[in-house]
A and B are shown apart, each in its own frame.
Chain A
Amino acid sequence: MTVKYLGESYEFQSENREERYGGDFNFYIQWHKHLMFACPSAYRAPGTMIMRDFMEQMFIPDYAQHPDTAHLDIEKLHWQLDHKDWQPDLDKSFADNGVGHMSYLHIRSPGLEGMHGVGN
């Protein structure tokens, strides 16, 4: 379905299009069963960023308040990209791993299932 409209046309570009990020891109990541972090987190980064650098220099500091973070082994994560199982090469860049604008990354950390036995 499409919008019903008056006039000649109803065409608009996405407000959040990639060209507005000055060479960077916008993506999201969710750590499964760590609901102390209420929402998937939003990031802006260059596509050339190496994924290991992202995990070590951005993700882990951002999630440091959770007691599981100190035990997180980034080699042993189960990854999903846009809801599909996926195994990135952490020593390659986002772009080389196929992560693009508005991608949604999801990680599971077996053995680290959040607090209180309920994924808090």
Chain B
Amino acid sequence: MAKDKRMGLKEKYAVMTRGLDWETSYQPMDDVFPYDKYEGIKILDWDKWADPFRLTMDAYWKYQSEKERKLYAILDAFQQNNGQLNISDARYMNAVKLWLQGITPLEYAAHRGFAHAGRSFRGAAARVACQMQSIDEMRHAQTQLHAFSHYNKFFNGMHGFAHLRDRAWYLSIPKSFFEDAMSAGPFEFVTSISFAFEYVLTNLLFMPFVSGAAYNGDMATTTFGFSAQSDESRHMTLGLEVVKFMLEQHEDNVPIVQAWLDKWFWRGYRLLALVGTMMDYMLPKKVMSWKEAWEIYWEENGIALFNDLSRYGIRLPKHHEVATKEKGRVTHELWSTLYQYGNALGLHTWVPEDEELDWMSEKYGELFDTMYRPRLLHFRAQEETGKRYFNNRLPMVCQVCQIPVFFTEPDDPQTQCVRIVEWADTKHHCCSDGCADIFNREPEKYVQALIPPQQIYRGEAGGARDIFEYAEWLHLVKDVDTGEYHGSPDHLNWEAWKAELPTPQANSDEAA
């Protein structure tokens, strides 16, 4: 009997990663890999890179195709059984819209970013890991679009996510986050996305959305979430490995990595304000509060992780204590912001129902009861007298995180926090010391930011002169895609479907 010539997994992995690599001789390696030195990261021995999740390309295809078969079988069943009627309430759809508008484009951006990183590193194992993640991210963008496309037949605001992503003020928050990372070098990119975002902060992103989907009867998103889970764990291990690798390779790397961790912790935390607000306000059935999630996933798990890294000379990220001080207010402040600028949102906003306000009182205590509850009840009273509150003006926006400057001072929830930064005699505004630090580290980068209200005032948003013309430029239909939930087509349709009556309102594609 012939000896079995098949290779073992370990051998196969070595042959199909490092075994495919060679030292170039016709061209200098520095010309072949022009991007992996200029950031200042010193790598003495790429062979020390330990890929923690050994997977060859053929095995990768096999696993992923199996997962996709299962995912699409469930999505088919969901569609054929009118799964959209099983969600907790139509208000929940706004969490899905926010994902589609804000997060799915990030998956695609991650695909691009990892493709670039997967070309840039001269270590073959790091390249292969980034290339696989690049393909994962492309799949996540596609499977999310397929999972959500069914909802687009029934609910408004989902018709132009790509157009919206490039124009809408609130989507410049996630867009600018990723473009900041993609326009950095490859080491900063993987530190920002793989480590700071996907390792340190990932539970604050995926747990709320996927558990929120499960709690609220959204089988399409839940199934997608489970399908992506094994990929996410691979991405997390890549994130931890890349940071440890840099720190172990050379002590000069430590201050560079620390500065990136300071920056990307803060940028990631700011981006998560949208997710926290979704958790507290857009989920009719609550999973946990933002404050509780922050306590578990940052104050316990995140800080423990940084303590583990202290042996490399890494300390906790700057301003983490500010993030913790803000945990009881940031979601209420942001919901109030979304509510009042709702004429230019592809989402609906509303004042929560009494039992939800009681849940918030229980979770957020005195500050909620003295400050945010009366504010929300004032908004409700205005709405009941036919004067639903919208802000008439455009907001100041942070030059770094691009969030409207609604945050209050770390120690004073009654005083707005505004920081002024300067570069080449021009002033700019930041929402916090965290963002001001990021600006001051690389001012030439952030002065280029396209800030939506400034763009409108300069006449560069399709010539829009007010918020309604701006919404038209976003391809949003007034009071159909935008504005108040109560009385919206989404609301009226939902009530009719639950009472088994005919659909009363056309969707925005037909209305437009």
CA A46 to CA B395, docked complex, whole Å: 19
- 1/0 contact trace for A22-33 toward B, CB 8 Å? 100010101011
Contact with A along B182-216 (1 / 0, CB 8 A): 00010000000000000000000000000000000
**Contact (Cβ within 8 A) B406 A36:** no
Interface residues on B, range: 35 or more
A30 and B447 form a contact (CB under 8 A) = no
Closest-by-CB residue of B relative to A31 is B416
Q: Kindly state whether residue B453 has any CB partner on chain A within 8 Å.
A: yes
Judging by beta carbons under 8 Å apart, are B454 and A40 in contact? no
Asked whether, in the complex, the Cβ of A40 is within 8 Å of the Cβ of B418, the reply is yes
When distances are taken between beta carbons in the complex, the residues of chain A under 8 Å from B414 are 33, 35, 114, 118-119
Report the bound CA distance from A5 to B406 in whole Å: 33
Interface mask (A10-24 → B, CB under 8 Å = 1, otherwise 0): 111111110011100
Which of B333, B382, B395, B445 is within 8 Å of A42, CB to CB?
A: B395
B395, A13: Cβ atoms under 8 Å? Answer: no
A35 touches B375 (CB 8 A): yes
Pair B444/A12 contact, Cβ less than 8 Å: yes
How many contacting A-B pairs (Cβ < 8 A)? 151
Given the interface pairs A4-B40, A12-B447, A115-B374, the reply to whether A38 lies near B391 with Cβ below 8 Å is: yes
Nearest-CB residue, chain B, relative to A61: B392
Docked-complex contact B405 and A40, CB < 8 angstroms: yes
| Contact (Cβ within 8 A) A82 B427 | yes
Structural contact, A28 and B429, CB atoms closer than 8 A: yes
Across the interface, which residues of A come within 8 angstroms of B396, CB to CB? 28, 30, 39-42, 104
B residues in contact (CB < 8 Å) with A: 34-35, 38-40, 185, 333, 336-337, 340-341, 370-371, 374-375, 378, 382, 387, 389, 391-397, 404-406, 408, 414-416, 418, 420, 423-424, 426-429, 440-445, 447-451, 453-454, 457-459
A-B contact pairs, 27 of them (CB 8 A): A3-B442, A3-B444, A3-B445, A5-B38, A14-B423, A14-B426, A14-B447, A14-B448, A15-B448, A15-B451, A16-B426, A26-B454, A26-B457, A35-B408, A35-B416, A38-B391, A39-B404, A40-B395, A41-B393, A41-B396, A43-B457, A82-B427, A83-B418, A104-B396, A104-B429, A115-B375, A116-B375
